[in-house]
Structure 1
Amino acid sequence: MSRLFGSVRARASLGASLVVALALVAAGAAVLLALRDNLTDQAGSRADSAARKVASQLLTVRSFGDLDLPDDEDQPIQVVDGDGRLVAASDDLQSISGTGVDQVKPDRRGAGEKEDSGDGDREDREDREDPEGGEIDDEPTFTKGSATIDGESAEYRFAAVEVSSPKGDFTVYAGGSLSDEKSAVSTALTAMLIGFPVLLAVVAGVTWLVTRRALRPVAAITAEMSAITASEDLARRVPEPDTHDEIARLARTTNETLTALQTSVERQRRFVADASHELRSPIASLRTQLEVGAAHPELLDVDGAVEDTVRLQELAADLLLLARLDAGEKPGEGRVDLAAFAREELSQRTRDHIDVHTDLKSVEVAGSRSQLARVLGNLLNNAQRHARSRVTVTTRSDGAWAVLEVSDDGSGVPASERERIFERFVRLDDARTRDEGGAGLGLAIARDVAVRHGGTLVVRAAPSGGALFELRLPSPQSSAE
């Protein structure tokens, strides 16, 4: 059961069925209430109409026996005087409730009707009973009850109409049958009880089929991803449906993720291969020197061994820093003055035949002191390696940015190679010799550090014709803002 409702199709079908069921129940209840109220009002209208017809007769007839009461089995009639006595009723009425008067046979004693005692008495009675006008209440009162007419019992809605006449005050009760209401409500309820489950089954089935069709591309994506995981072939891609919905966007995003993952894996493989290649040469050279020294101590090249050891140490440090950068190491929030930083770095360097010019203006940046020192050191190493006679170091502020520029008067970097030189283990043709260049990691490390600090590192032509490397880092004030 848990596996069944773990399916999106099952949950969608169940959810749609529940929503439709709630809507149908609410709509059905509203329809039944409206139908019942409408039919009840119709029964009340019939009862009110019958009661008013009898009330109109009370204003004109001379005796209650002259009342023309409806003989319809669906309309029981009662006429009650002001003292609560029944003075007229339907002929076939056998029992009644809901009107307040349970009598079904009229009681005319003391109701103002007397035997004629002569002409004079008849004239006096006619004068007394001659209608002189009357009044029928405009607002009827409605009650519910039951009545038995000619052996048939049923529920009724009774209308009570008050009448004021020369003979006295009376109340006319007339009933309207509620059998139509009960029959119609019962029929509608039966139809709903039969139709609603069928409709819910149709909704659930259609939702299941539509959801299944809509999720078919997801099944294909899942199968392809399982195949990619099993084969470890990151060159494969999941199928993209020819739609513009969320599933198509999911497929495209998945393929973009696979592309990025493939690029990252290939980059890591190249990195490992290049690192192994770079480490192999100094290790092989160092081993050879040590083996020769072990066999012939007088031939041991101590300076060469030290040089290879230093190269190994620097390469290991570079690889370790790259690993930390790839792992997302945060730069920190320390404050560094680039001008003071540059002076400190230059004071520890040998100039040889290179003339270093500086134009250093105090400007602060936030970040890792050790990582920024590696950037400055790598840029100075690169400039001194390629400069003919002059290196220029400049620090300045440019709005919200702190700028460090290192330029040389060497041969420069061709425009087509200005992005490639920031790739790992990349050395241009004129810098591939071991004695002139490093492993090709310095500029890659410098750019990675710049990006981690929220800045940029680019290269362009220097005014002196060489290469100018520009490092831009956000100033602490702009970062705070």
Structure 2
Amino acid sequence: MVKLLRSISPTRAIMGRLFLWFWATFIVTALLAIWGSRLFFEDLEIVPIKPREVAALNQVVEHIQNDRFQDAPLRGALERHSRERRARMVAIDISDNRIIPAGGPPLRNEDRDDLLRLVNQTSPIAVKRGAFKILGPVFFERNNTRFALFSVRLEIPDKQTPPILLFLTIALITTIVLSWLFAKSLTNPILRIQSSAKRIASGDWQARVGRASNRQDELGQLSRDFNKMADQLESMWAAQKRLLADVSHELRSPLARLQMALGLAHQQNVDPETLSRVEREANRMEALVGQLLTLSRAEAGEATMEKQMLSLVLNDVFTDANFEAVNKNKQLKIDEIPKKFVVVDGMMICRAVENVLRNAIRHSEFLTHISFSEDAKQWCIHITDDGEGLTVEECERIFSPFYRATLARERESGGVGLGLSIAKAAVELHHGRIIAEPVERGGLQVTLSFPK
């Protein structure tokens, strides 16, 4: 139950916190304003007087006029009866309008003025200003001086009047709407920056923060700085791809001359073992350059899309892979290829499937399985081996150029670390997705997904 409450708590998000903070501030401010206006700024009004209230005042007068209390200070008698009646007793000397209150804070100017206006009343009445209720006067004599006795009580009504309820309802709705709009205006730019950051992290170098960058506050400046950072990252990535492509092209010429020199050296009976080693390294370098060029082409988005039968596209790849598996005393199991037409670049999709499949055969113990699936949005190729597999962290990194895993898929494989990078670039060229996942029973499954 606690976990459920935490999961739905609005304070888990910055927008929820901002909303609750401003909404609570508005509500508290409104309530204090209402209470203060009722307490200090309402007009004087006459309210019905209750007989028991007049009787209570008369009882106070009787005690004060009692012969036993004639010599006691009047203020002390007022204080004692104030505590008993839970109201502040105030006496006014009729001769000079001198006000004698019971102990406590000084009377407000408004209350003093109201008392002096009521002192000439011939019979008790009750008036109210805000939350203060004044009852009196009741007259008495003490030491040959005539006094008027009043009761001042703080009386907050138990029920709110309908206009106050209406005001509170309107204030509640208004503050909720305004607080939500204000919180949304602050969090929307943050959410856009977050979304753009995720897109850049996934390889979309065109992602930018849109309207939020037009703001003239700190969030707008943050959005503009983010866009500048994205521009620099895109520029650096483009420069890296150009450098990779240029270097690959430039290496082709010296490689060709090296192979020609090797041919001449063979004709001149140079040490065959040395020539064989040089030739092996030259061939390896040529393969690396070829893979770099393929990777550059895929990342540059160069594709020739044609509508083709899927089985015809993959037939040669599977035939060669089966031949390779047999030579390594391993088994390749291929499910029936769906009889469907797909719009693909045949060469690039073959390179993607071939690189993943050869990698799976190389690291499998015995069996490599190829299966297919599809739904309303995409169709997939699943390539599963029964090798040692990879960790989850390695599964996320094996598609990076020149990355080598730390388990069975080590340097003895003989590759250069570009095969899966080419596969990823080729799949993304078709707006698809490639992922690797460990298999529970051991091994690795690579899924190539393509949109319909």
Task: Give the TM-score normalised by structure 1.
Answer: 0.41
